[in-house]
Structure 1
Amino acid sequence: MKNSLLKHPLIELLKNNKGNPKTLILMEPLWGIPYNLIAPFATLYMYTQGITDVQIGLILSVSMVVQVLFSFIGGILTDKLGRKFTTMMGDFFGWGVACLIWAVSGNFWFFLTAVLFNSFEQINQTAWYCLLIEDADSRDLIGIYTWVNIGGLIAIFFAPISGLLINTFSVVPVVRVLYVVFAVNMMIKVIITFRYCEETRQGKIRMAETKNTSVFHMIYEYKDLIPKVLMNKEIVKVLIVCVILHIANLVNTSFFSLYVTQRLGIADRYLAFFPILNAAVMLIFMIGVQHRLESVKFRIPMWIGLVLYAACSVLLILTPIGSSMPFIIVYVFVGAVAGGLVMPRKDALLQLNINPDERARINALIMSFTIAFASPFGYLAGLLSSIDRRLPFVFTFTIYAIAIIIVGKICDPEFAEK
């Protein structure tokens, strides 16, 4: 049993991928543990301190507008400063500083300031993805993204700690301490990135090419790059799916906890249980099933996953008040399988359709488009939730249906040897 586990394709991939992919994968719990301790209670943390549904939605929408700007310049900074340094900068400001502000937040303006600093994380996103996969074989991308997801999922098993603490001390003081822990973890992550990660080959090329090019000139060059991206039909299809998934994740993350506690009457202490169930199912799926689907075309698993996501929205809407726990457990279980099918393939499919010579700026553009298109929907979801807490999930069902149609038209990529 032990030998067969050591020969598992995911273990082999991790052993054979030295350098940046291995370091970044092993570091992922530093971010994942505190994030998942806080995530089930983040919206409740605001709501408990008097932030209304509409204000929560407004904070989300304003932050996404700012994230568009940071995403847009993220590709330029990634090319000029390097993948490694830009990743470190994004972690420091986007998570370290932001979490310290969240830790002392008590009104609308503090929470808004925190999410604005967290917008620096969008610069990190572009650089981090480049640092992760640029020196890796394209055939390993699904495995690498699977490991990234596994790193975050393992961290979720720490979530009961926050549930137990909140049951004893209440939401606000516990979440404040967890935000401080999060900030410390991210500072440690910055140090490890500096010590053990190396700039990628393409990163060094782009740093040399852009050394004497001004930021304003590089922004001006987007006028030629944007049409190239928008004329690539496969990139546009994947981009639309990315936008839909981003919006759906935003709505689900922000309003699920309010829905199950305020409408269905589930106690706050059980919120930490749902991410654990989700993580357990996804881990079983990714370790036991994911590698068996490598020969299956991309769009078939993605299509099935989106159908399952849509079914989850319907299930949540129809869940009866008073006997809701079994329905919510089924919702989490099915959603976890859907995530295992969709997320690694969506990320890999996007990278396989991008010109590697312009990966940083194209990734930044795609991230900017994704956030820009999604930005109004945080406020919309908050408004819908204030009318009826079921309405945000009626909305997610609608956009999942659109994604199902688009994925049916996506072409499966051809793999190239590195």
Structure 2
Amino acid sequence: MWAIPGTIVLFYAPLYMKGAGLSDIQIGILNSVNLYFSFVFQLFAGAVTNKWGRKRTTLLFDLISWSIPMFIWAFSNNFWLFLIAYLLNASSKFVTVAFNLLIIEDVDEKQRSLVFAIMNMIIISAGVLAPLAGGVIHKYGIMPTISVVYFIGGISMTVLFVVRNYLTKETEAGRVMIQTHSDTHIVRGVMQSFRLFGQSLRNRQMLPIIMITIISNIILQLNFFQVIYLKEQLGFGDRMISWIPFITAVTTILVYSAIMPRLKERNEASYVKLSLAVCAAGSLLFLFIPAGSVLMLVIVTTVLAAGTFLLLTFRDSLLMNKLGHYDKADLYSSIQVVMSIVAIPWGYISGLIYNIKPSLLFIIIFISYASLLLLAYPIGKVTGKRVEQSVTMGE
């Protein structure tokens, strides 16, 4: 109920904004503004999640960051309406922390990669409907089609958030943290997050994992212009572009059903390296897609889809398993804070780079993946204990 409208509108957002008359620079500014306020909200995400609980925080900020903006986007026809919606959407950083903990904390460590895989597959698999959206867009145009998807999506997401809140229960760690932080001031909770983050940086196993998480997030920001590049520089039509989420979804399903069951040892460190190698190969191939070559586009999309799905799955699982049991909210939030502040200028920078030389943006993406592969090499080769925090909550 989130993934179907969410996947469509996120994929077509750049073209929707273009259709509303926004320039490349304005789109870049919106990205940077969204990233800046994401950073501000992220500062308080861990503390709020501990004080209010995973379940309550997820519901409240899902409504604020998705339900309301979806209805605003449905009627956006100028820069300022998009700005308001993106400002509200930035509060989704509260959900990033709270929801990930809600679905993970009561799950055995060996099963967490499977949980992340299932969640990623559900979201990505919704892309099978993108060609249908592409057909409607071809007939009626980008603006009216995506506007309707935004509006229907707002209704669908709101129903989801309310029903999911009714069906779920607070995690064991969440109940402990609510009780512990009932009298803790939010600002004090923020300082606790950064103290724990500083401790994690001294762990030789944690540092490269944190760096991979941060830099791979920046790459996602750089990829924002991919759909515009395919249309404006390589000459692919809206209908062909609409098949990209479909190819991505089919690839994801095949990787989940045919490849992941064979990865029985669940060695997340090795699989993170493998996924980075696949992403690097895909991003290199992307640079050599001939204009209008459907076959090459399908091959590159398949490679990138497989690599990205594996990277998100095992990267997040590896990170979660390295964090302390009761301090996951604080540490995960602080990592998200650093990730947000580092990413802030990249929305605007990516717009500038694309405006100057579109292909340069994707050269940088390849170099970034190659660099992450080198950074990931030591992971798993150095024996190190999981980061155990000073706040043991009665352990």
Q: TM above 0.5, one fold?
A: yes
After superposition, give the CA deviation of every residue in 1:337-385 in whole Å (9 maximum; x if it has no partner): 2123322110100001101111111111111111111221111111111
Q: CA deviation at 1:251?
A: 1.8
> What are the equivalent positions in structure 2 for 1:344-363 lying under 5 Å apart?
344-363=313-332
Q: CA deviation at 1:91?
A: 0.9
**Which residue is 1:72 aligned to?**
43
**Which residue is 2:4 aligned to?**
33
1:207 aligns with 2:175: no
Q: Which amino acid aligns with 2:313?
A: P
After superposition, give the CA deviation of every residue in 1:34-75 in whole Å (9 maximum; x if it has no partner): 012222211000012221111111111111111011112111
1:404 aligns with 2:370: no
Q: Distance in 2 between matches of 1:396 and 1:154?
A: 24
Q: CA deviation at 1:332?
A: 0.4
Uncovered stretches (5+) of structure 2, i.e. residues with no partner: 387-395
After superposition, give the CA deviation of every residue in 1:173-212 in whole Å (9 maximum; x if it has no partner): 1111111111111211221122100011111111111111
Q: Which amino acid aligns with 1:81?
A: W
Measured at CA, do residues 143 and 184 of structure 1 come closer, stay the same or move farther in structure 2, by a change above 3 Å? same
**Which residue is 2:110 aligned to?**
139
Q: Which amino acid aligns with 2:26?
A: Q
Number of equivalent positions = 384
After superposition, give the CA deviation of every residue in 1:224-257 in whole Å (9 maximum; x if it has no partner): 32321322232221111111211112222x1111
**Which residue is 2:393 aligned to?**
none
Q: Distance in 2 between matches of 1:160 and 1:379?
A: 30
**Which residue is 1:262 aligned to?**
232
Q: Distance in 2 between matches of 1:258 and 1:395?
A: 17
> What are the equivalent positions in structure 2 for 1:108-119 lying under 5 Å apart?
108-119=79-90
CA contact (8 A) 2:193 2:331 kept: no
Show structure 1 runs of 4+ deviating over 6 A: 412-415
TM-score (norm 2): 0.93
CA contact (8 A) 1:62 1:375 kept: yes
**Which residue is 1:330 aligned to?**
299
Q: CA deviation at 1:223?
A: 5.1
TM-score (norm 1): 0.88
Q: Distance in 2 between matches of 1:241 and 1:91?
A: 27
1:302 aligns with 2:272: yes
Once the two structures are aligned, what percentage of the paired residues are identical? 26
Q: Which amino acid aligns with 1:130?
A: L
**Which residue is 2:391 aligned to?**
none
Q: Distance in 1 between matches of 2:162 and 2:253?
A: 29
**Which residue is 1:22 aligned to?**
none
Measured at CA, do residues 291 and 414 of structure 1 come closer, stay the same or move farther in structure 2, by a change above 3 Å? farther
**Which residue is 1:179 aligned to?**
150
SS, match of residue 105 in structure 1: coil
Uncovered stretches (5+) of structure 1, i.e. residues with no partner: 1-29
User: Which of 392-401 and 403-412 deviates more?
Assistant: 403-412
CA contact (8 A) 1:41 1:271 kept: no
**Which residue is 1:84 aligned to?**
55
Q: Distance in 2 between matches of 1:298 and 1:331?
A: 24
CA contact (8 A) 2:72 2:81 kept: yes
Q: Provide the alpha-carbon RMSD of the alignment.
A: 1.6
1:103 aligns with 2:74: yes
CA contact (8 A) 1:37 1:161 kept: no
Q: Residue 317 of structure 1: which of 276, 280, 287 is its match?
A: 287
Q: Distance in 1 between matches of 2:179 and 2:204?
A: 31
Measured at CA, do residues 210 and 349 of structure 1 come closer, stay the same or move farther in structure 2, by a change above 3 Å? same
Q: Residue 236 of structure 1: which of 202, 207, 226 is its match?
A: 207
Q: Distance in 1 between matches of 2:5 and 2:385?
A: 38
SS, match of residue 245 in structure 2: helix
SS, match of residue 287 in structure 2: helix
